[in-house]
Amino acid sequence: MSSFLSVKEQLSVIKRGTVEIVPEQELIEKLKTSRKENRPLRIKLGCDPTRPDLHLGHSVILRKLRQFQDLGHHVILIIGDFTALIGDPTGQNKTRPSLTEEEIRENAKTYLDQAGKILERDKTEIIYNSDWLRPMRFEDVIRLCSKLTVARMIERDDFSKRFNNNESISLHEFLYPLAQGQDSVHLKSDVELGGTDQKFNLLVGRDLQRDAGQEPQVCLMMPLLVGTDGSMKMSKSYDNYIGIDEPANDMYGKALSIPDDLIYPYFELVTDVDQENLEDVRQKAETDPRNTKHELAFTLTRMYHGEEKAIEARKHFEKTVINKDIPDDAPVLEFEGGTSHRLMDIISDAGLTSSNGETKRMMKQGGVSIDDRKIKDPNFEITFKKGDELGLKVGKRKFAKLVS
């Protein structure tokens, strides 16, 4: 008696939010064999720790890995500490700088801590690809390079664009997909997960496995999550992200800032809402986007902070945004009566922004107010009188009480 769900039931879970499975029929055959032999498939996801913090965009692929885990398959999270030294050129229009080993180790630690909020750590095999890539001899690398032609490499979209634009491509960048493919050979993976931008790299893994006499892996591609701006992929670089470690109030507020047409994709890709309830969510998102978006914000905040924090975040939003009140837990900044202070300095000194430059930009954009009055002049000063109590709002989610 197999311990796995039927192939049809597994496919329903696996295909949720999935863009492409190459080839799908091979996945079906692998699932059939898995059930027949009562043997879990080996599911691989490689992650280069190029940044220390994860956002919901990263969670799309991690949640798919968790779904395979929940279906009873063996998931392998590869920390690409060696491939990170090369620097993945995928999606780059120029060579990505490689990281130091110290930076990689520090990023990997934070990455694993945050990934543990999604994956079952005790059921996840975590390995580092330096274990098998670093011992390779130069002759091994030459032999590996012989497996792919330069013409095949230039087929890759980002390489071909740079080549046609006469932009530099370093030889070591060609090694990246080969190294990632070698991971698949070493692990004998059945399925490899990746974003749509990783398709070329995943297919190289199939080629190398076939050349090594292995049954080639199935490649499963997930979409790149669009950020809160509604146009670019979620990224810290674009400041359109929702971090997995965001404070509850910020996570709730940022989720409410997404465009209405992203409500359903977010529910499908980054929440734990049951598959059978997704169609109801789609209809509600179309007919009542405002309340459905609040449901999304609450769901995400509950997933990462718990029910109690999610309830508090909803109340915080109602108080500060809907009722336009200063929250009770806002920091209190005291000033001596009769003294004058430049508002920009007050904001920066209190750490409500990262710098005077950011403060100035927010003021010019109308993101700073005193008692609901927008202050756009960076040289605006407040002269405090004894007994003053002013409400300061910076951006959408930062507050302070100014008292004298």
Q: Where in the chain is the domain with CATH 3.40.50.620?
A: 7-222
User: Closest by alpha carbon to 94, among 47, 159, 40, 32?
Assistant: 159
pTM to 2 decimals? 0.80
Q: Where in the chain is the domain with CATH 1.10.240.10?
A: 248-322
324 is in an annotated binding site: no
- Whether residue 46 contacts residue 86, with contact meaning beta carbons closer than 8 Å, is answered with no
* Single-letter residue type at 319: K
Architecture of domain 7-222 in this structure: 3-Layer(aba) Sandwich (3.40)
Q: How confident is the model at residue 93 (pLDDT cuts 50, 70, 90)?
A: very low
- Whether residue 221 contacts residue 195, with contact meaning beta carbons closer than 8 Å, is answered with yes
Q: Where in the chain is the domain with CATH 3.10.290.10?
A: 332-403
For residue 281, give both structure tokens.
């969510």
Tell how strand 74-79 and strand 373-374 pair up.
unpaired
Q: Given this structure, which CATH class describes domain 248-322? A: mainly alpha
For 253-268, give the DSSP string.
HHHTTS-GGGHHHHHH
Architecture of domain 332-403 in this structure: Roll (3.10)
Residue 365's CB is within 10 A of a number of other CB atoms, namely 11
Task: Name the more confident of 296 and 401.
Answer: 296
DSSP structure class, residue 346: H
Residue 398 pLDDT = 84
Residue 364 pLDDT = 86
Residue 190 pLDDT exceeds 70? yes
List Cα–Cα distances, 278 to 263, 265, 273, 299, in angstroms. Answer: 11, 10, 7, 13
Tell how strand 20-22 and strand 42-47 pair up.
unpaired
The predicted-structure confidence for 99-130, as pLDDT tens digits, reads as follows 778 888 888 888 888 999 999 999 999 999 99
DSSP structure class, residue 233: B
**Residues with Cβ < 8 Å from 375, sequence gap 6 or more?**
343, 363, 368, 369
d(CA 136, CA 132): 7
